[in-house]
Amino acid sequence: MIQILYTFLSKEFYETSLQEQLKIFPNDFTNKICKYKRWQDQQASVLGRLLLIRGIADFYDKQINGSDIGINENGKPFLKDSDIEFNISHSGELVICTIQKTLPVGIDIEEMKEIQIEDFFYQMTENESATIKNSTDQKRAFYNYWTQKEAVLKANGKGLSVPLKSFEIIENQTQLYKDEWYVSKLSIHPEYSCHMAAKQKSKYIIYYVDHREINTFIEKVN
């Protein structure tokens, strides 16, 4: 079973709680966060890791802190000395985290803003571009493909070194470096596109975490 937690950004919550939230994390992460100029970027980064810590405590009865999270050579966060896999994404006002044991998992969420879709066709295969062009809702079709592909890349863990055009999503699955990936669409919010990728078809549960729950959890951890 894959656990998925999400929450929303809030300027009020940021102003009243950030300093307490940062106490959980090591100095290098705190210093990195404080360099971000936008409060949204600061809060999104912190909330993503708080969702992870909360999820592991709730579903795996394991207490971790910010120091237990490392970064591999490809820039992907991982949990030290653990077989728990996770991935975090944020866009607009939403932050989301997915967690499961043993097998890699990736998630991507994007606010569906107005963009010049044609500018991104070079990153799609011919079939994907054709599908988008022929869709009655081209913006949604584009973001669906984009979040599927990003979720696969994040699950694979190779990051930006893999061109999006190098693999094709067909009926919610694809192959990358001989690995099969299955993609699931997550209905989080009508203005966002969100997909999760895993190495096998898995059941999942989605949880909304409000700010009161986060504050209560922070008090216990601190």
Element (H, E) at 175: strand 173-176
Cα 217 to Cα 57, 107, 146, distances in angstroms:
10, 24, 34
- pLDDT by residue (tens digit) across 65-90? 778 888 887 778 888 888 999 999 99
Residue 181 host element (H or E): strand 179-185
- Bridge partners, residue 179, by sequence: 176
Q: Which fold has domain 104-199?
A: Ribosomal Protein L22; Chain A (3.90.470)
Q: Where are the domains of the chain?
A: 1-103+201-222, 104-199
Among 175, 162, 165, 169, CA closest to 148: 169
Examine domains 1-103+201-222 and 104-199 and report if their fold is the same.
yes
Q: What's the pLDDT tens digit per position in 3-49? A: 999 999 999 888 888 888 888 888 888 898 889 999 999 999 999 99
Question: Residue 160: pLDDT band by 50, 70, 90 thresholds?
Answer: low
CATH of region 1-103+201-222 = 3.90.470.20
